[in-house]
Chains A and B, each alone.
Chain A
């Protein structure tokens, strides 16, 4: 049956995309192999990501000051091209909520998308449950849907910052022009800040104003880094293998093209 007027032959592989499929399949197979190895006791070593190591510092400071911690994954949703960033942000939120539950620090999570609202509320409840403090969970107070409109969302977050003066602010997710407004207003009220995004034009604002920055791809490693969950660790390990392969291919490809061979470029066009 055609879907929305489209014939089913749209499902055929487009010429020039065979390598995409091969890469996808290789990543999938190696990830599964990696998970099996992890289950047998193998654990890859990690280099430290300073921004994530500092989460305890943020919560500790808030506990000492008797103030809340603020978190936002931005106003992006779980659909569209920025959804992996929102998912990565929610992984950080899950860990932050656990730390807040452990040290009895109130947490405020500002979201701008209704689909994120439900997931954030679930993660919040699970965090309190994991710490044995479900009776203290207040999802309706902690998880706040503000609005899906960019600058209205920005002004609402600025309002929360000005009125509730959180001791710490963590922003991990996709951010657009509102990034500087958030970083600036939380800086002014003296919050310690950790920020991360894969949106390259917004990283400079975070790098200049925030105390810790999670740069680009580091953000996608956060889930595995914090949860140590086998599938996540395996996927990061596989991504690293792909990066090492890409580096090797770049160097070999550059040597080849200077020797007059286009073989690697043709391979990448396959």
Chain B
């Protein structure tokens, strides 16, 4: 009996998933009531889930450390910052919310910036100046030369406040950099498109073999 109930529930789930898949894909034709229904269901479910997660976070990280027993008084700080955010809805004290936002933005951007000095700048520099043009076969040497030239010209492209470095014959350097970037983007695009086609095939497989149960 339990098996039959599980089977029925699974089948209902497959039908709902199939219906929502077709409804979402129908936007390829044009906006239509099916797509609207699927979109609103999806957005509503996601918003509801986010709300539940947010409540869980307030309880888990905010209240449970402070009440009923004081486990760690430091947790009052994020709670206060969080409460400041809600002042946005107060007519006269709404300016307090700016302090909450300022703290969140300031700390997040600073943390990201500090990390990027090591991860994006120093590691990249270390790797580039470790490249030897004298080691390996011809293909490896050519690859290394291309890598260094691509790095130098692409970085050069992103200099903004010295326009003279982009004028005259020096202007060829950022142009070469842009070409290298476009080639890299082309490669990246092709790779991602293949992944997306794979996802699409996955959905088709689901519709054909799980929903319609066609013989494989």
A114 to B97, CA, bound (A): 13
Residues A246 and B186 in contact, CB atoms below 8 Å apart:
no
Question: Given A147-B46, A159-B36, A251-B152, A23 and B121 touching (CB < 8 A)?
Answer: yes
B130 close to A (CB within 8 Å): yes
Kindly identify, within residues 236 to 254 of chain A, every residue whose CB is under 8 Å from any CB belonging to chain B.
236-237, 240, 242-244, 246-247, 249-251, 253-254
Residues B113 and A250 in contact, CB atoms below 8 Å apart:
no
B8 close to A (CB within 8 Å): no
Residues B161 and A250 in contact, CB atoms below 8 Å apart:
no
Q: Which of chain A's residues have a CB closer than 8 A to the CB of B63?
A: none
B17 close to A (CB within 8 Å): no
Residues A149 and B49 in contact, CB atoms below 8 Å apart:
yes
Residues B122 and A268 in contact, CB atoms below 8 Å apart:
yes
Output the least CB separation between B166 and chain A (Å): 5
Question: Given A46-B163, A78-B104, A118-B85, A264 and B129 touching (CB < 8 A)?
Answer: yes
Residues A78 and B188 in contact, CB atoms below 8 Å apart:
no
Question: Given A3-B74, A158-B39, A162-B30, A147 and B108 touching (CB < 8 A)?
Answer: no
A265 to B125, CA, bound (A): 9
A40 close to B (CB within 8 Å): no
Contact digits for A107-145, partner B, Cβ 8 Å, 1 yes 0 no: 000000011001101100000000000000000000000
Question: Given A87-B105, A149-B50, A208-B189, A257 and B129 touching (CB < 8 A)?
Answer: yes
Residues A4 and B158 in contact, CB atoms below 8 Å apart:
no
Contact digits for B46-57, partner A, Cβ 8 Å, 1 yes 0 no: 110110000000
Which residue from B31, B108, B121, B132 sits with its C-beta under 8 Å from A163?
Answer: B31
Residues B161 and A152 in contact, CB atoms below 8 Å apart:
no
Q: Which of chain B's residues have a CB closer than 8 A to the CB of A156?
A: 39, 42-43
Residues A236 and B85 in contact, CB atoms below 8 Å apart:
no
Residues B160 and A250 in contact, CB atoms below 8 Å apart:
no
Output the least CB separation between B27 and chain A (Å): 6
- In this complex, the member of B98, B112, B155, B161 whose beta carbon has the largest number of chain A beta carbons within 10 angstroms is B161
Output the least CB separation between A205 and chain B (Å): 7
Q: Which of chain A's residues have a CB closer than 8 A to the CB of B45?
A: 152
Residues A146 and B126 in contact, CB atoms below 8 Å apart:
no
A215 close to B (CB within 8 Å): yes
Main secondary structure of the interface of B (DSSP, over half): helix
A152 to B112, CA, bound (A): 27
Residues B134 and A258 in contact, CB atoms below 8 Å apart:
yes
Residues B126 and A269 in contact, CB atoms below 8 Å apart:
yes
Q: How many residues of A contact B (CB 8 A)?
A: 76
Residues A115 and B117 in contact, CB atoms below 8 Å apart:
no
* Chain A residue, CB-CB nearest to B126: A268
Residues B132 and A257 in contact, CB atoms below 8 Å apart:
yes
A19 to B122, CA, bound (A): 9
Which residue from A81, A82, A254 sits with its C-beta under 8 Å from B131?
Answer: A254
Residues A204 and B131 in contact, CB atoms below 8 Å apart:
no
Question: Given A147-B46, A243-B155, A79 and B188 touching (CB < 8 A)?
Answer: no
Residues A254 and B97 in contact, CB atoms below 8 Å apart:
no
Kindly identify, within residues 173 to 225 of chain A, every residue whose CB is under 8 Å from any CB belonging to chain B.
180, 185, 200-201, 203-205, 207-208, 215-218, 221, 225
- In this complex, the member of B39, B73, B184 whose beta carbon has the largest number of chain A beta carbons within 10 angstroms is B39
Output the least CB separation between B96 and chain A (Å): 12
Which residue from B31, B35, B105, B192 sits with its C-beta under 8 Å from A83?
Answer: B105
B185 close to A (CB within 8 Å): yes
A84 close to B (CB within 8 Å): yes
Residues B24 and A84 in contact, CB atoms below 8 Å apart:
no
Kindly identify, within residues 87 to 136 of chain B, every residue whose CB is under 8 Å from any CB belonging to chain A.
88, 97-98, 101, 104-105, 108-109, 111-115, 117-118, 121-122, 125-126, 128-134
A201 to B186, CA, bound (A): 10
Name 20 interchain pairs, CB-CB below 8 A, sorted by A: A23-B122, A44-B161, A47-B160, A78-B108, A84-B113, A115-B85, A118-B85, A146-B47, A147-B47, A152-B47, A159-B27, A162-B30, A201-B188, A201-B192, A203-B185, A207-B182, A215-B181, A225-B160, A237-B161, A269-B126
User: Which of B's residues lie within 8 Å of A, judged by CB?
Assistant: 24, 27, 30-31, 35-36, 38-39, 42-43, 45-47, 49-50, 72-74, 85, 88, 97-98, 101, 104-105, 108-109, 111-115, 117-118, 121-122, 125-126, 128-134, 148, 151-152, 155-156, 158-163, 166, 181-182, 184-186, 188-189, 192, 196
Q: Pick the 6 closest A-B CB pairs, nearest first.
A: A253-B129, A149-B46, A204-B189, A162-B31, A152-B46, A204-B185
- Other A-B contacts than A155-B27, A204-B186, 17 sampled, CB-CB below 8 A, are A17-B118, A20-B117, A80-B108, A81-B112, A122-B98, A148-B47, A149-B50, A151-B42, A156-B43, A158-B27, A204-B192, A217-B158, A218-B158, A240-B160, A247-B152, A250-B129, A250-B148
